[in-house]
Structure 1
């Protein structure tokens, strides 16, 4: 079998099964595991899948820059944002993450809501300027341009001093086996720190992020209390998350 044919077969199997187990596939095809793993490494370098221990999972399409990500699931994100905004109660302290869906969430908060919003996203902070009863605490640090958020030691130090009722987390990927993950090592650490200071972590998950993986784990799914997804997300994708005791809110 030619290399191109093998890679096409691997991608087709990944699309059908949602994962590749290198050992099983090598036995099925009569190929060495080294050959399968080499093909998987090359496909991963092209951004076509995410290598994990023992095989591969679908790569998240949410790895592009901010402008590119604004075009992904553009219809789903406002609905997810409205469902998230409906969870906020008066006088709560909430943390809104960075990212395209988080900006939509800031826009969706009722104009008369009284609460405190902590964020490390300048974009989110600016959206709340016209909310007279929302106290905004903006975390500073080095600007991570991919997500337009502050990161670094000063951001982590400030985050460690604040406890929140809800953390609305944006992610690149969710998977029952690999948890919540993202494409940058430092960003994963910042998100993990924010989640550790929150009573509840609510993940904003547009459909393309479900059952995908990114290189750096933020936390296992046991850290997540609720996932907000679009109303037409297939139940076949959601069932495993429900079985883990995670509440699913359909937007």
Structure 2
């Protein structure tokens, strides 16, 4: 089957939309072209931000790699639903590590105004949102500010993280995929998230539906490293069902 380059591109994008992944060797066999040709096409799509290349093929790219201001307009209702469920996990008197990002900001806003708790965060935005919570003790971890997500990261921030502990970490990621795991777009940010997860008894992932089935470049944690996933995605979504079948606890934010 001969296809023009534009037709191959449309075919690959269609596979990503329908099946949630592209396996280069399978496409090469189907179209009777070389795997190198498929890989070149995937490189071109990745350069345009239309897929995330992985070993052997590609996955859908997360829309959550846009800048912080733009991300605030992405799925705000879904983020609020996820935040409401996440806020319910925070117990009076407990200690919470709250990640940065737009979904975590929705969690901060969803916490009861009079909640007596300790919140540890590496996000100045999160800390500012909790200034009006009179009974919440705030600890802000310092370091180099990564402006994309309005968080601190780097060696100083990771070292600060190693000196705290909490009952719960609410983790934000840009990609949630059964095979790629939990991913984000920056290596230092991923390292900071791992450092924070290591300091909490339980880690729950905050993931509004647009992140489900997508991937970014850097892995944060494998599924074995978290306690569960909070999402507003349809429980019958194929990716959600696949995660549940592998034993991941899914908290549905309806």
* Alignment RMSD (CA, Å): 1.0
Secondary structure of residue in 1 paired with 2:76: coil
Query: Counterparts in 2 of 1:73-152, with a 5 A limit?
Result: 73-152=75-154
Contact 1:184–1:216, Cα closer than 8 Å, also in 2: yes
* Cα deviation 1:53-99 (Å, max 9, x = unaligned): 11111000110001110111111111111111111111111100000
In the alignment, does 2:202 pair up with 1:200? yes
Secondary structure of residue in 1 paired with 2:230: strand
Contact 2:212–2:233, Cα closer than 8 Å, also in 1: no
Query: Counterparts in 2 of 1:213-228, with a 5 A limit?
Result: 213-228=215-230
Where structure 2 has 5 or more consecutive residues not aligned to the other structure, the ranges are none
Runs of 4 or more above 2 Å deviation: 231-237
Q: Which residue of 1 aligns with 2:162?
A: 160
Q: Which residue of 2 aligns with 1:212?
A: 214
* Cα deviation 1:191-228 (Å, max 9, x = unaligned): 11111111111111010101111000111111121111
Q: Which residue of 2 aligns with 1:71?
A: 73
Distance 1:68 1:123 in 2: 15
Q: How many residues align?
A: 251
Q: What TM-score, normalized to structure 1?
A: 0.97
Contact 1:207–1:233, Cα closer than 8 Å, also in 2: no
Secondary structure of residue in 2 paired with 1:75: helix
Shift of 1:9: 0.9
Shift of 1:231: 5.8
Contact 1:94–1:118, Cα closer than 8 Å, also in 2: yes
Where structure 1 has 5 or more consecutive residues not aligned to the other structure, the ranges are none
Distance 2:224 2:233 in 1: 23
Distance 2:235 2:9 in 1: 28
Q: Which residue of 1 aligns with 2:62?
A: 60
Instruction: Please point out which of 177, 181, 184 is paired with 1:182.
Output: 184
Q: Which residue of 2 aligns with 1:241?
A: 243
Q: What TM-score, normalized to structure 2?
A: 0.96
Secondary structure of residue in 1 paired with 2:63: coil
Distance 2:213 2:181 in 1: 9
